[in-house]
Structure 1
Amino acid sequence: MKAVSLFTLFSFVLFSCQAEKNRSKYPDTVGDIAFDEKLDEAGFKKCGAGKDRPFSFQYYHGPKMFDYKGEKIAIVQKLKKENIYSEKKVNGYITVRFLVNCEGKTGLFRLKRMNSDLKDIALDEELENKLLKFTKSLNGWMPKEIEGLKVDYYQYLTYKIEDGKVSEVLP
């Protein structure tokens, strides 16, 4: 009987350690962007990393959904001045998702592209790179405040492409 009890206890401890080990490979919350030294600037820091704030919020948390100086219209106007387009008359969507930290600095940029049928497909690598560079250049993001605390949050911009030109910026 003593051997069975010890075996049961040992098995429980062993499986508990394995479960804990497996959990650590997943992000703290769904959608977290993990730091990648090949893509991300080494100096960019998440303010929320730590015990008191183990996760980042999404753009829609808090009183305002779009925290950019001058709102979305300022981004659209800047984009028009840049005159970014593709010689290839492609159609689809290019989404750039990133993190705005509690200081209003941006980092952890990730790009997703889809055709008009929402299938993951490369549209035009040059256009994608131009829009990624443009998004990185936007420096009017404001820190989000929730319950009096400045927090990190994920933001995205989706560029709708029609005939090689940006026809709309979402959200």
Structure 2
Amino acid sequence: MKIFKIIMAIVGVSILAFAGFLAYSYYTYTAAFDTENKPYKHYVGYIDFKKALLNDAYELCDEGRIYNTYSSAGLKAYKGSKKRFRDHINENFNNNAFTDAGYVNFRFLVNCEGNAGWFEIIQMNLDLKETTLNKTMVDSLFTLTSNPENWEIIEYYEAPRNYYMYVSYRIENGKVTEIIP
């Protein structure tokens, strides 16, 4: 009789543990990431597709799932290397005697084919206050940054994936002095 009670206790605990696992799995894969009815709908890496530039030039793969949304793809996203990217910018960016100073920040997505699109541009002065910089200068940096030749195809679980990326240019007297990251 005592063994029967022990077996029933083990079975009961096992059923409760399995039910808890199922409930946690359901929450993790559905409710935890549902931002529609939450006060902060826009998580880190969120880009408003309606306002984004180059939002209709390419298609996202994998049903639009985005990887590396919190830290971006960082240095592994640059095709070749960051040095190659920096050299490409320095060789092709014609400063046209711009005198602006500040930061031009590009937040964007790169699809599974290595095509950059869905750009959001944030312009700031050197005190990190939003401002408007020379449009021709910003457009030139946008054209250089959006070039697919700059971006790697990144694989996760042996398949190419979409990923979030950002590039910030520090501008002093119309010249690019730093590229982050």
User: In structure 1, what is the equivalent of residue 136 of structure 2?
Assistant: 126
- Preserved CA contact (<8 Å) 2:124 2:130: yes
Q: Secondary structure at the match of 2:90?
A: helix
Q: After superposing the two structures, state which structure 1 stretch, 113-122 or 29-38, moved more.
A: 29-38
Q: Decide which structure has the larger Cα Rg and report it.
A: 2
C-alpha RMSD over aligned residues: 2.9
2:72 equivalent to 1:58: no
- Preserved CA contact (<8 Å) 1:86 1:124: no
TM-score (norm 1): 0.71
1:30 and 1:48, CA in 2 relative to 1: closer, same or farther beyond 3 A? farther
Q: C-alpha separation between the residues in 2 aligned to 1:41 and 1:170? A: 23
Q: C-alpha separation between the residues in 2 aligned to 1:38 and 1:114? A: 18
Q: C-alpha separation between the residues in 1 aligned to 2:170 and 2:85? A: 14
Q: C-alpha separation between the residues in 1 aligned to 2:109 and 2:76? A: 13
Of 36, 42, 50, 2:50 maps to: 36
Where do 5+ consecutive residues of structure 2 fail to align? Answer: 1-34
Where do 5+ consecutive residues of structure 1 fail to align? Answer: 1-19
User: In structure 2, what is the equivalent of residue 6 of structure 1?
Assistant: none
Question: Which AA in structure 2 matches 1:57?
Answer: N
Q: C-alpha separation between the residues in 2 aligned to 1:156 and 1:21? A: 25
1:81 and 1:138, CA in 2 relative to 1: closer, same or farther beyond 3 A? farther
2:91 equivalent to 1:77: no
- Preserved CA contact (<8 Å) 2:76 2:152: no
Of 148, 151, 166, 2:158 maps to: 148
Q: CA deviation at 1:99?
A: 0.6
Q: C-alpha separation between the residues in 1 aligned to 2:72 and 2:45? A: 15
- Preserved CA contact (<8 Å) 1:89 1:163: yes
